[in-house]
């Protein structure tokens, strides 16, 4: 069996049928579909069981709720395919996704095959979102020379895709690093697995073809604002720094830029979402954690004026000023567009 498609499932009854059907309708049929019911409170578990009764390629795992990481870990422990393909339960695959991956694997034997994707918003499919890397096969030396400089963040805030979904990864490689991810992390968890996979991979194929449909929804965990995200990113950084692997020469600098960017992004999300009550907690979490040192070390070039001013304030430990600056940037943008403030 070539592929194990792993789908973590929690409270996505509205999307699960589309997700499962997108896998079952694949033009390439040598796969198993592992549905991990992570203690979902809706009918997702029952729907998964109904599908398993109809198709022998489907395996269903029912477990207590433990979060996305624990669901993926449970799925990969059961997987028997040569490669794993991660698919989130509210997303979908294009009909030739696995066939496209199989062709590349057959021709190149790549350890990782990374695809482009399209966003789906309220049923509307957007343009192709391509990775920064040129299409083609990268050997060990080319990975180090061309991919590693953008592994986490270069000086222009650019990076290659570091999410797990939309990639075919050799199961042994993925399983080795997935089991080491902290199950408590819900932001940056993909990076905790894919970075060591890239560091160890002998070959990577970067494909510009979009085979993945990423659903943007207002109620997803990726769009929900929680101050503890600051702490979780700190845990991710601690794990990356502790990797017992050969790393790129500028790995420390990239970690500092990643830390700074993520704190900036979280602060911007709080400001633009008018989470004023969260400001005190955010100031404390950023100022009294490893992030403050990383932020002060981070150096960027050719970034927007808005980003440069906000980061400069953050580096001077003026977290509150950065918050209100980002808030007023949002207000000014709304006024220019004629939207209500």
Q: What is the DSSP string of 215-241?
A: EP-TTSTTT---TTHHHHHHHHHHHHH
Domains and CATH numbers, the chain: 3-215 (3.90.550.10), 229-337 (no CATH)
If DSSP codes are grouped into helix, strand and coil, which group holds residue 58?
strand
Q: Using N-to-C axis directions, what is the helix angle for 229-241 and 189-200, rounded to 10°?
A: 20
At residue 219, φ and ψ (nearest 5 deg) are: -100, 15
Residuewise pLDDT in 10s, the chain (341 residues): 999 999 999 999 999 999 999 999 999 999 999 999 999 999 999 999 999 999 999 999 999 999 999 999 999 999 999 999 999 999 999 999 999 999 999 999 999 999 999 998 887 888 999 999 999 999 999 999 999 999 999 999 999 999 999 999 999 999 999 999 999 888 899 999 999 999 999 999 999 999 999 998 765 444 456 888 899 999 999 999 999 999 999 999 999 999 999 999 999 999 999 999 999 999 999 999 999 999 999 999 999 999 999 999 999 999 999 999 999 999 998 888 766 55
Stated pTM of the model: 0.91
């Amino acid at each position: 069996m070539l592929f194990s498609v792993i789908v973590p499932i929690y409270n996505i009854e509205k999307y699960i049928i589309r997700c499962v059907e997108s896998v079952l309708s694949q033009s390439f049929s040598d796969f198993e579909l592992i549905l991990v019911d992570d203690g979902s409170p809706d009918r997702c578990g029952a729907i998964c069981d109904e599908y398993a009764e109809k198709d022998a390629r489907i395996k269903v795992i029912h477990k207590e709720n433990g979060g996305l990481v624990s669901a993926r870990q449970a799925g990969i422990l059961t997987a028997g395919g040569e490669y794993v393909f991660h698919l989130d339960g509210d997303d979908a695959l294009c009909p030739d996704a696995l066939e496209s991956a199989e062709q590349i694997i057959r021709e190149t034997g790549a350890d990782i095959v990374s695809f482009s994707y399209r966003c789906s918003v309220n049923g509307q499919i957007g343009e192709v979102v391509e990775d920064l890397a040129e299409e083609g096969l990268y050997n060990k030396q080319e990975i180090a020379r061309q991919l590693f400089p953008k592994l986490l963040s270069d000086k222009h805030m650019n990076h290659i895709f570091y999410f797990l979904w939309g990639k075919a990864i050799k199961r042994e490689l993925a399983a080795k690093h997935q089991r080491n991810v902290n199950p408590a992390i819900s932001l940056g968890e993909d990076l905790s697995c894919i970075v060591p996979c890239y560091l160890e991979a002998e070959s990577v194929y970067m494909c510009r073809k979009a085979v993945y449909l990423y659903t943007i929804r207002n109620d997803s965990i990726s769009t929900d604002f929680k101050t503890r995200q600051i702490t979780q990113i700190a845990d991710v950084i601690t794990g990356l720094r502790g990797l017992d692997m050969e790393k790129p020469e500028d790995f420390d600098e990239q970690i500092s830029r990643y830390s700074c960017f993520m704190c900036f992004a979280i602060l911007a999300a709080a400001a633009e979402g008018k989470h004023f009550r969260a400001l005190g907690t955010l100031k404390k979490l950023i100022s009294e954690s490893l992030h403050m040192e990383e932020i002060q070390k981070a150096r960027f070039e050719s970034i927007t004026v808005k980003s440069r001013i906000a980061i400069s304030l953050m580096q001077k430990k003026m977290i509150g000023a950065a918050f209100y600056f980002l808030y007023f940037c949002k207000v000014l943008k709304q006024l220019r567009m004629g939207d209500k403030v």
